[in-house]
């Protein structure tokens, strides 16, 4: 089912229409304040991205304010790591909260006071029933609820009990605070909702100061009111919560103009795992490399995969803002990625499954080069590169067929094709091995067809790409597809839903070793995104593809199956994409005016801003962030002084370190640039995973220290010793004989369960790839 889009091309969505009406009536005195309120219990996904873009875009459109508020009212699941990760994601998308950074936990005292006010008004009471009894007493959609036996406690008794709850006198679950509304209300959320519960748990920011915590429906509307938010934009599943939102604010004494809640459909993206509860087990089991595994739909994963933030913003514009939702086709997202990359990504040739071609009419030492355009004519961009050509070239194995099927339009015995930008090639001889497999082609080129020349009347089967054998760079290429296998409707499933760790598709990641790539990529910045001609869009993995390692992630395949439903809708989508490309989406990242002013005043900063992209292979955006002050410059240059990879260091500074700093300066850090450089080198050498290194960085920010020593002290050194891992694996398998038997009986997806148990046994320090390999050796033998 395709989603319904209520945003007409060139028009305005219903939320912006509401805001315009509020401005016209002077409802909020000309103010527009929006917010994005994530809970820091996981990393953001693409659904969150569309919410960020909507809220930040509205604030920009109406010269308003955009708040980032961490809804950290659940002490058992939240931590600083997720706070840092969420900040990184939002900045990468191009949104910026400026000075408007808030934490719900900072309002705990004010929320408590509001609860006391509700009790004093007779609008809240302490209920001593169990949570199960409370749930049963709510009734059903057709039957009214049953009043709690504690509903008529006196105000004095409720105030006393609530104060003692705060003082820690009672155990978890002994009491809750409930709103006193109407147990017969048709909206079941209004049947005396729970407002506070007891949780004796350490809070990552407030420590042990509190043992009672507010629930979301009570807390977030008060947070909006405390901050002066005007338009509280939620997804459609909170539509029924709006009545409770209004009740809490009005009952707590907030009068107009106060915040109001508006709902939109949000995003449900096809083939995307969006639930944090679903992603967590995959990470814990080692079935994905972390929250930034490129197969996931987290923003961190898209960033690592190579998706440009402009594509996510274009996608949000294409989907629009709708009241009624539905599932959005994955191909629409991929369409947006291609639209952005088509004009940005230089073309290069890469052969993923190489077949050698020996050109018999050229001398063995033949060497020349062809100047081949980096962009097609319709893109409107100049640029070319010199591509070397020799007497042996690689072509794709799939571009040759010894016994061609009907309609095959590439190289066949005795047939001709054009080598892209070079010569017409004729296949004269096929060399096979003892089993009949093709191992080499012996061909000849027509020297009269150099560089695209073609005698009149000459017809060839097609044009194929190639790479010179003598000059090719060896690379690893990672191809991603849908992470989870679909659940068969007729399959019997134990429990409420299938175990997600058993649904991971073994084909979701295909690693191609020994791919051949033209040498021009060695001269480009590390974060360059390419189109591998006839194959797809790729870039170097920012975690594993640094230094001399060429590891490329496929960002998106070259061809799309997206057709946008009917012809009218396809036309509208094309018009919308063209408009977005022409005017740009609401979020427009750009060179900072403040940092540019600093460079205008300091020639040393200006020189470095101009030099860094070429000297260190970093983006202009990163160069901008690194050259805003001499202190940041000194920190960066200190970090790379002893040989740490500049691109990797730059990435750490502009994301991880920047998120740690908040509004502070590098001079406030508890560690130096050279310490960061040592940490980056430890990640590069494999001594610690990048995920674990983030925890080390947080410890360094808290108290300083040598990264190598911290890795040891924190027990985060990578475990790859096969003997040690083998003993752990043998113990895990010995304790699960029934699962081992099921695996060998065909349930091979159980390998995720085994990996997860090994990761638990090693406290997450094992190398998941080594674990999988050792498990396979034992289970498949």
Q: Is the pLDDT of residue 389 over 90?
A: yes
Instruction: Give the model's pLDDT for residue 585.
Output: 45
pLDDT digits (tens, 9 = 90+) for 726-779: 888 999 899 889 888 888 887 775 776 787 678 777 766 676 667 878 888 898
- Give the separation between CA 768 and CA 445, rounded to whole angstroms: 48
670 close to 706: Cβ distance less than 8 angstroms: no
- Which residue is associated with the tokens 């007409």? 8
**What integer pLDDT is reported at residue 10 of this predicted model?**
34
pLDDT of residue 752: 62
The per-residue b/e assignment along 78-109, b for 16 or more CB within 10 angstroms, e otherwise, is: bebbbbbbbbbbbbbbbbebeeeebbbbebbe
Share of the chain above pLDDT 70, in %: 89
CB count within 10 Å of CB 371 equals 10
Q: According to the model, what pLDDT value does residue 725 have?
A: 84
Q: CA–CA separation, 729 vs 743, rounded Å?
A: 15
Q: Looking at residue 513, what is its pLDDT?
A: 94
pLDDT at 570 over 50: no
pLDDT attached to residue 590: 46
Residue 292 has pLDDT above 70, yes or no: yes
What is the CATH class of 116-215? alpha beta
Q: Band of the pLDDT at 560, cuts 50, 70, 90?
A: low
Can you give the pLDDT at residue 768?
A: 65
CA-derived radius of gyration, the chain: 30
* Structural contact between residues 105 and 228, judged by C-beta atoms closer than 8 angstroms: no
Q: What are the pLDDT digits (tens) for 156-185?
A: 999 999 999 999 999 999 999 999 999 999
Fold of 10-115+216-344: Rossmann fold (3.40.50)
Q: Which two tokens stand for residue 663?
A: 């509004």
Percent of the chain with pLDDT over 90: 60
Q: Write the pLDDT tens digit of every residue in 255-280.
A: 999 999 999 988 888 878 777 778 88
Q: Assess if CATH 1.10.10.410 describes domain 722-779.
A: yes
The CATH architecture one would assign to domain 345-485+504-557 is Beta Barrel (2.40)
3-state secondary structure of 696: helix
Q: What is the dihedral of CA 148, 152, 157, 163, to 10 degrees?
A: 50
> Which range has the worst mean pLDDT, 385-394, 432-441, 668-677, 711-720?
711-720
How confident is the model at residue 764, as a pLDDT?
61
Report the distance separating Cα 481 and Cα 442, nearest Å: 35
Task: Using the predicted structure, report yes or no on whether residue 491 has a pLDDT greater than 80.
Answer: no
Of 321 and 489, the one with more pLDDT: 321
Residue 549: pLDDT band (50, 70, 90) is: confident
Q: Which residues in 391-437 belong to E strands, given as ranges?
A: 392-396, 416-419, 424-432
Contact 473, 548 (CB under 8 A): no
Please check the confidence at residue 119 and state whether its pLDDT lies above 90.
Answer: yes
Domain boundaries of the chain, sorted by first residue:
10-115+216-344, 116-215, 345-485+504-557, 593-714, 722-779
| pLDDT bracket for residue 780 (50, 70, 90) | confident
Helices (H) and strands (E) in the chain, counts: 26, 27
Helix 603-616 vs helix 593-601: crossing angle, to nearest 10? 110
pLDDT score recorded for residue 493 = 38
* pLDDT tens column, 405-431: 988 999 999 999 999 999 999 999 999
Q: Which residues contact 676 (CB under 8 A, 6 or more apart)?
A: 635, 639, 644, 649, 652, 653, 657, 697, 700
Q: What is the pLDDT of residues 653-678, one digit of tens each?
A: 877 787 677 657 788 888 999 999 99
């Amino acid at each position: 089912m395709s989603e319904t889009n209520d945003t007409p091309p060139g028009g305005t969505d219903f939320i912006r229409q509401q805001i315009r009406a509020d401005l016209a009536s002077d409802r909020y005195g000309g103010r527009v304040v929006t917010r994005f309120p994530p809970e820091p219990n996981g990393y953001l996904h693409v659904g969150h991205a569309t919410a960020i873009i909507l809220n930040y875009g509205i604030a920009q459109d109406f010269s308003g304010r955009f708040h980032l508020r961490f809804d950290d009212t659940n002490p058992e699941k939240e931590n600083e790591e997720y706070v840092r990760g969420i900040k990184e994601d939002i900045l990468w998308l191009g949104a910026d909260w400026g000075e408007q950074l808030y934490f719900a936990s900072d309002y705990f005292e004010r929320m408590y006071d509001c609860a006391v006010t509700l009790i004093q008004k007779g609008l809240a009471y302490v209920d001593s029933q169990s949570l199960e009894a409370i749930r049963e007493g709510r009734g059903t959609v057709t039957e009214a609820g049953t009043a709690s036996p504690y509903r008529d406690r006196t105000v004095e008794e409720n105030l006393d009990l609530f104060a003692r709850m705060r003082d820690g006198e009672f155990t978890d679950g002994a009491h809750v605070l409930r709103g006193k509304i109407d147990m017969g209300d048709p909206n079941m959320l209004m049947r005396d909702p729970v407002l506070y519960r007891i949780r004796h748990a350490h809070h990552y920011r407030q420590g042990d100061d509190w043992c009672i915590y507010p629930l979301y429906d009570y807390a977030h509307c008060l947070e909006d009111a405390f901050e002066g938010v005007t338009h509280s934009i939620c997804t459609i599943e909170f539509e029924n919560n709006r009545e409770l939102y209004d009740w809490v604010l009005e009952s707590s004494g907030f009068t107009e103009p106060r915040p109001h809640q508006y709902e939109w459909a949000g995003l449900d993206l096809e083939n995307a795992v969006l639930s944090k509860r679903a992603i967590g087990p995959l990470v814990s089991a080692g079935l994905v490399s972390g929250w930034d595994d490129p197969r996931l739909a987290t923003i961190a994963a898209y960033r690592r995969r190579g998706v440009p933030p402009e594509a996510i913003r274009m996608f949000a514009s294409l989907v629009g803002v709708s009241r009624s939702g539905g599932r959005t086709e994955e191909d629409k997202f991929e369409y947006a990625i291609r639209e952005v990359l088509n004009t940005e990504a230089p073309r290069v040739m890469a052969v993923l499954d190489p077949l050698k071609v020996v050109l018999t009419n050229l001398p063995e030492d033949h060497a020349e080069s062809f100047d081949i355009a980096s962009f097609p004519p319709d893109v409107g961009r100049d640029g070319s590169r010199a591509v070397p050509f020799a007497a042996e070239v690689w072509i794709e194995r799939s571009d040759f067929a010894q016994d061609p099927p009907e309609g095959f339009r590439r190289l066949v015995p005795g047939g001709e094709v054009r080598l892209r930008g070079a010569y017409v090639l004729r296949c004269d001889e096929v060399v096979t091995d003892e089993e009949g497999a093709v191992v080499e082609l012996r061909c000849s080129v027509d020297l009269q067809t150099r560089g695209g020349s073609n005698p009149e009347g000459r017809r060839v089967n097609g044009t194929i790409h190639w790479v010179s054998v003598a000059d090719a760079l060896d690379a690893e290429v990672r191809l991603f597809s849908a992470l989870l296998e679909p659940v068969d409707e007729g399959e019997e499933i134990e429990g409420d839903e299938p175990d997600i760790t058993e649904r991971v598709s073994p084909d979701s990641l295909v690693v191609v070793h020994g791919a051949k790539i033209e040498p021009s990529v060695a001269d480009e910045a590390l974060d360059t995104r390419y189109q591998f001609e006839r194959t797809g869009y790729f870039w170097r993995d920012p975690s594993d593809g640094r230094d001399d390692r060429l590891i490329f992630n496929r960002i998106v395949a070259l061809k799309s199956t997206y057709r946008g439903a009917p012809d009218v809708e396809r036309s509208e989508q094309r018009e919308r994409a063209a408009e977005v490309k022409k005017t740009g989406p609401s979020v427009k990242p750009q060179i900072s005016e403040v940092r540019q002013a600093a460079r205008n005043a300091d020639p040393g900063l200006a020189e470095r801003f101009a030099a860094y992209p070429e000297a260190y292979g970093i983006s202009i955006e990163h160069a901008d962030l690194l050259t805003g002050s001499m202190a940041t410059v000194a920190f960066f240059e200190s970090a790379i002084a002893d040989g740490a990879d500049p691109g990797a260091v730059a990435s750490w500074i502009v994301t991880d370190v920047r998120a740690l700093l908040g509004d502070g300066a590098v001079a406030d850090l508890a560690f130096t640039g050279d310490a960061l450089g040592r940490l980056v080198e430890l990640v590069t050498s494999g001594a610690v995973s990048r995920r674990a290194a983030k925890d080390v960085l947080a410890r360094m920010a808290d108290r300083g220290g040598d990264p190598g020593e911290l890795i040891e002290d924190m027990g985060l050194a990578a475990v790859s010793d096969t003997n040690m891992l083998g003993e752990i694996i043998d113990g895990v398998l010995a304790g699960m004989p029934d699962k081992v038997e099921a695996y060998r009986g065909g349930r091979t997806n159980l390998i995720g369960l085994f990996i997860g148990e090994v990761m638990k046994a090693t406290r997450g320090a094992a190398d998941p790839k080594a674990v999988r390999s050792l498990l396979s050796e034992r289970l498949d033998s």
